Amino acid sequence: MNVDVRNPEEVKKMIDYTIEKHGRIDILIVNAGVVRVGPVETFPEEDYDLLIDVNLKGTHYTCKYAVPYFKKQKSGSIITLASVAAHIGQVAHANYCSTKAGVLGYTRALALDLAPYNVRVNSVSPGATDTPMLQSDVAKQARDRGISYEDVKKEFEQEGIMGRWATSEEIASGILFLATEESSYITGADLRIDGGWTTQ
C-alpha cells in the first residue's frame, strides 16, 4: 500500500487496514523522510513546508492513528527515524536540521506518554547512509558548489570517524534491535548509528 504521510486520511487508512488484516500492531517504524538543503535566506517556502509536512507531521500522523491500538493492547515498540542532523549543525541544512530535532523531541515526549501502557518509543539517528536520498543531496550540493560528486561524497565520508558511508543494512540492524525484546528496558532513547560523527 502506497501512502502519502502528509495526508492524515491516507495514514489512518493504512493503520486501520493493518489492524483489520493482523488484529494488532506490535512494531511501528516511522521512517518516511525527505531532505532539502540551502541557505536560510533563499530557502523556498515550499521546500520548508515539505520538510515539515513529511518529517514532522508525517511522524505525528503515523503515531497518532497507531497510538490508540498500542494503548489498548498495552504492548509494542515505536521507532522513529531522526538523523545525525538532529544533533549537530550542518552547512545549508538549518531547515532540515530543525525538523529532525523536532522528531527527537516528539519521540522523547511520546515515550513518557506511552510508558504507563508498556509501549516503548525510541528513535534512530543515522549518519551518512548510502541511499537515493543522500545521493541526491550530494548531487545537489555538487551542482550548487561547482565541484564533483566524488569530492562532496568524500567530505561526507570524512565527517564520521570511520571514513565511509553506512549501508542501509547497518541502519536496519539498529532498528531491529529497538523493535525486539533485546531492548526491552530502553525507551525515550536515541540510537546514533553515525560512524562516530557526533563523537567529534
Q: Where are the alpha helices (DSSP H) in the chain?
A: 8-22, 45-51, 58-73, 94-114, 132-145, 149-159, 168-179
User: Distance between CA atoms of 77 and 66, rounded to whole angstroms?
Assistant: 11
Contact 194, 127 (CB under 8 A): yes
Q: What is the mean pLDDT of residues 70-84?
A: 98
Could you give the percent of the chain with pLDDT greater than 90? 86
Q: What is the mean pLDDT of residues 29-47?
A: 95
How is the chain split into domains, by residue range? 8-199
Phi and psi at 28, nearest 5°, equal: -120, 120
What is the dotted CATH code of the domain comprising 8-199? 3.40.50.720
Instruction: Choose, from 65, 69, 96, 106, the residue flagged as catalytic.
Output: 96
CA 49 to each of CA 81, 120, 141: distance values in angstroms, whole numbers, following the listed order: 19, 29, 20
Is the pLDDT confidence value at 32 over 90? yes
Could you give the percent of the chain with pLDDT greater than 70? 100
Asked if 96 is an active-site residue, the reply is yes
Is the pLDDT confidence value at 141 over 90? no
Query: How does pLDDT run across 147-199, given as a tens digit for each residue?
Result: 999 999 998 888 889 999 999 999 999 999 999 999 999 999 999 999 999 98
Nearest to 190 by CA among 120, 132, 140: 120
pLDDT of residue 137: 82
Helix or strand or coil: residue 80? strand
Nearest to 92 by CA among 37, 133, 139, 46: 37
pLDDT of residue 156: 81
